[in-house]
Every structure is written in C-alpha cells, then in structure tokens.
Amino acid sequence: MRYALISDLHANLPALQAVHRDILRREVGGVYHLGDLVGYAPWADETVGMVAELGIAGVAGNYDSTVATDYQHCGCRYEDPRQEELSHLSYDWTRRHVSPGTKAFLGGLPFRIDLLPQGGHLAGPRVVLVHGSPTLNTLYWTEDRPDDFCLKMAAHAGAKPGDVIAFGHTHKPWQREVGGIHFVNTGSVGRPKDGDWRAGYVLLDLGGGATRVEFVRVEYDVEQAMRGIRESGLPGEFAEQLRTGGEA
C-alpha cells in the first residue's frame, strides 16, 4: 500500500494544485492531509474546497481547530515581536475571510486518523496521522527531539514496532526510526521552512514487511502565490518567505 501524505497546505492553492498533479502521475492508494489547510496565504476557501471536492480525508491542524473554535490565537510559535505581530495579522485576516462553510469543515476535522494498510482484520502495522503530536496539535516535533521524546509520543499513541507515526506542523521534513517505530515529519506543501521553496509531501510505502519513506519536492508557480499574497492585504513578508523557503 502506498499513501501520499500532504501537510501544512496553508491556503497556498498553486502549491496544492502542483502537488495534486504530481500525485496523479504516481500509483497511490490514498491521499491524506495532516492539517493546517489555512493561514498565511489568501486561498483558504479554495484550498478547503479542493480538499473537500477531492475527498482527501485528514486531521485538524492548530490553524484549523483555532479558526473553527474562535480561539484567541492560532497556536503558532513566534520568536520575536515582529513574528508575533505577523502571526496575529495572518490569523485575523484568515478569520475575517473564511466562509461559514469553510469554518464548519475545519471544525469537523478529527484530531487523529489511524490507517491499517493490511486491513482491519490484522493488528498491524498501523499508520497514525496527527498534525503536531499525538498529545496536542500545537506541539512542535522537531528533528532535534531526543529518542526518549519519540518513544513517549509512541506510547501515548499506542504505537508498536512496525508502526508509523506521521505528522507535520514544523514545516521541516525529517524521518527517524526508534525502537522499530517510524517517525515521519512530512514537511509542508504551502509554506516550507527548510530553505527549499518547492512544495513538499511524502510518499509512504508499506509493503513486503518494509516501510519506505520518500520526500517529494514539487516546483509550482511561486510567483502567482506571492502575487496573491501581496494583492490580498496580507503582510508582504509571507510572500518573501515562500520565495526563500522560510529563510527570509
């Protein structure tokens, strides 16, 4: 069984369209999203509309659950006062522009989805899909987290050797195997922060007792996305961050 896992789309419709085209060229059994469909770019309704129309199931990112519940902020991390200001500008803009239908759709997303690629009549292997971590969708599971942290999360999720836990939220892709459990951060479709501007997603293969993770990068019309941000009234910094892959 082969899955395409897409995360952190962040209302970047041109990036999602390019990733979707790329997925169609491959043999994929299922496409799932790991949340954060909206925020930072202007195509919130269009992105949610495309995900809904294609029937791509997925989980609630922090952006999705905070917008849906009118929380006071998006649950995003910021490292300085300007970042904090930008974070609030994006959140306020998004809340003012999502349609009631989009908000309802975001509110209906589950916290976690479990896949059993060999069928539910067998115990495993299990693929657990969450946005940030099995405990909270706001928790940043970065590559420098120690093995102990990964095992603690696996225990919380009820994962066993051979299982996979897939998540996003940090916008930086990585993978690691600890105690026979595979941990996969899928990176971001619409707002990568690893210095590579191209849209990122993961192909996860579970077959013949082996687990294979392929990090795919797809070129898209980033100029169109940047223009869309600038014309929307969102801060211009968000356009620059797309061009540099988060290094701006």
Q: Which is nearer to Fe ion, 134 or 192 (CB)?
A: 192
Where in 99-128 is the site for Fe ion (CB under 5 A)?
Answer: none
How many chain residues bind Fe ion (CB under 5 A)?
2
Structure tokens that stand for 95 in this block = 């809340």
The interface region with Fe ion, picked from 3-11, 91-99, 114-122, 199-207 by CB under 5 A, is 3-11
Report, in Å, the least distance between residue 99 CB and Fe ion.
Answer: 21
Q: Which is nearer to Fe ion, 190 or 228 (CB)?
A: 190
Q: Rounded CA gap, 227 and 240, in Å? A: 10
Q: Rounded CA gap, 13 and 37, in Å? A: 10
Q: Rounded CA gap, 108 and 74, in Å? A: 17
Q: Rounded CA gap, 93 and 88, in Å? A: 8
Report, in Å, the least distance between residue 193 CB and Fe ion.
Answer: 9
Q: In DSSP terms, which residues pair with 108 in a beta bridge?
A: none
Q: Which is nearer to Fe ion, 206 or 220 (CB)?
A: 220
- In this chain, which of 8, 22, 45, 194 binds Fe ion, going by CB under 5 A? 8
Report, in Å, the least distance between residue 119 CB and Fe ion.
Answer: 32
Q: Which is nearer to Fe ion, 8 or 163 (CB)?
A: 8
Report, in Å, the least distance between residue 207 CB and Fe ion.
Answer: 30
DSSP H or E segment with residue 166? strand 164-167
Q: Which is nearer to Fe ion, 8 or 194 (CB)?
A: 8
Structure tokens that stand for 214 in this block = 């392929």
Report, in Å, the least distance between residue 101 CB and Fe ion.
Answer: 22
- Among candidates 51, 42, 65, which has minimal Cα distance to 7? 51
Report, in Å, the least distance between residue 102 CB and Fe ion.
Answer: 17
**Which residues touch 147 (CB under 8 Å, ≥6 apart)?**
178, 179
DSSP H or E segment with residue 217? strand 210-218
The interface region with Fe ion, picked from 1-9, 153-161, 172-180, 220-228 by CB under 5 A, is 1-9
Where in 28-67 is the site for Fe ion (CB under 5 A)?
Answer: 36
Cα-based angle 197, 202, 207 (whole degrees, multiple of 5): 160
Residue ranges in contact with Fe ion by CB under 5 A: 8, 36
